């Protein structure tokens, strides 16, 4: 696809994502309209592929993705939450659609620059005007962070001093703009991303093997269990006092209690969960476990690993590996935040996976089914 057209499509998706779960989005029903477009385009692609007799599905893919789709959609419907599960599943259809589009290096760079400008703009508007005064600071901070991370996809292999200085300057500007949103996690994970871009943290920490992806995908669960155990220690009052003095918030800011409540609900619905994505659990894996139980969460984790594993044969391509690193930084940040798993989820992490598959499609010159 033409790089300019591709960038325009990505910019539209950024705007749609901005309106997700917002008052403006509800007024103009942008999320519902975008979701309808995704379903229609997906059905058209499947029909055309079937007509051309190119609809070949790997057996493992069929079991994993089919199991996730069936579990999430059916459990929400059976438990009385109607199409909530189907609404969330639409983001995986978006990954599939974007993965059908061949993505050039130029298109990724233009998209990254566009997201950089859009992200800086929304942070500036939030910081220095009253236009977004009613918006949640964490939400704005994450939009800024994720926009910055998409920009970095093409720059995880910078070598020249000049390029590194430019990356550091842009990072400094971003952190300065994110500061007023009071999103601590956005600042910390922006720093982590830059450490990868400057090769201080090697990419192979994440991308060495496909099996290692399972470890990173389970990090939110490990963090939740660790924090719950730590929160019962006698030293928590001292740690909370230190955090209040430095950040004006308790150390875990109530997340320990949330996660403990989530695991109690899971204990009552161990296999298939409660069926609802409602509830601000501030942890993507806890959200999946509460909503769809151990069965749904297992299929979900296997599906994400399967998508990421498709990049193995092209892992030396900076854009493919960059997408994997960017996705995992977003994903692990969701150990303590909201947005990745929701009836109206943050689209950008799923867009990144679509970019990765589209890049592989270009490099292979063949379909990614």
Residue 202 lies in a domain: yes
Average pLDDT over the chain reads: 91
Residue 87 lies in a domain: yes
Residue 367 lies in a domain: no
Residue 76 lies in a domain: yes
| Tally of domains within the chain | 1
pTM of the model: 0.94
> What token pair was written down for 266?
């899971």
Residue 301 lies in a domain: yes
Least confident segment among 51-65, 76-90, 271-285: 51-65
Q: For residue range 164-199, list pLDDT tens digits in order.
A: 899 999 999 999 999 998 888 899 999 999 999 988
With 0-12 / 13-18 / 19 or more C-beta atoms within 10 angstroms meaning exposed / middle / buried, residue 57 is exposed
Which pLDDT band, with edges at 50, 70 and 90, does 369 fall under?
Answer: very low
Mean pLDDT for the stretch of residues 262-289: 95
Residue 257 lies in a domain: yes
Percent of the chain with pLDDT over 90: 73
Which pLDDT band, with edges at 50, 70 and 90, does 27 fall under?
Answer: confident
Task: Please give the backbone phi and psi of residue 242, each rounded to the nearest 5 degrees, phi first.
Answer: -60, -45
Residue 298 lies in a domain: yes
Residue 140 lies in a domain: yes
Range of the domain at 83: 3-362
- Asked if residue 313 has pLDDT above 60, the reply is yes
CB 118 within 8 A of CB 174: no
């Amino acid at each position: 696809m033409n790089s300019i057209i591709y960038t325009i499509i990505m910019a539209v998706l950024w705007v749609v994502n901005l309106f997700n779960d917002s008052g403006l989005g509800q007024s103009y029903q942008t999320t519902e309209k975008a979701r309808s477009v995704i379903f229609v385009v997906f059905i058209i692609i499947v029909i055309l592929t079937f007509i051309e007799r190119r609809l070949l599905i790997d057996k493992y893919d069929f079991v994993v993705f089919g199991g996730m789709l069936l579990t999430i959609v059916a459990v929400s419907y059976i438990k009385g939450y109607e199409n909530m599960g189907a609404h969330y599943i639409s983001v995986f259809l978006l990954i599939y659609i974007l993965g059908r589009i061949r993505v050039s290096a130029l298109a990724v760079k233009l998209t990254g620059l566009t997201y950089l400008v859009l992200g800086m703009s929304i942070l500036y508007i939030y910081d220095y005007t009253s236009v977004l005064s009613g918006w949640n600071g964490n939400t704005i901070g994450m939009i800024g962070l994720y926009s910055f991370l998409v920009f970095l996809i093409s720059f995880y292999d910078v070598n020249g001093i000049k390029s590194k200085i430019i990356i550091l300057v842009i990072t400094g500007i971003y952190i300065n703009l994110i500061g007023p949103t009071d999103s601590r996690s956005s600042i910390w994970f922006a720093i982590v991303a830059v450490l990868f871009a400057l090769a201080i943290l090697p990419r192979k920490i994440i991308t060495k093997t496909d099996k290692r992806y399972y470890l990173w995908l389970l990090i939110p669960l490990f963090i939740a269990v660790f924090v719950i155990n730590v929160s019962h220690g006698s030293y928590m009052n001292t740690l909370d006092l230190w955090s209040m003095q430095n950040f004006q918030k308790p150390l875990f800011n109530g997340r320990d209690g949330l996660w403990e409540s989530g695991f109690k609900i899971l204990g009552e619905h161990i296999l298939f969960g409660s069926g609802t994505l409602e509830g601000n659990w501030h942890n993507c894996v806890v959200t999946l476990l509460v909503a769809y139980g151990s069965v749904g969460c297992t299929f979900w984790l296997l599906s994400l690993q399967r998508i990421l594993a498709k990049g193995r044969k092209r892992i030396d391509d900076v854009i493919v590996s960059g997408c994997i690193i960017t996705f995992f930084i977003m994903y692990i940040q969701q150990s303590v935040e909201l947005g990745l798993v929701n009836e109206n989820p943050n689209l950008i992490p799923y867009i990144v996976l679509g970019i990765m598959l589209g890049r592989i499609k270009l490099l292979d010159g063949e379909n990614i089914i």
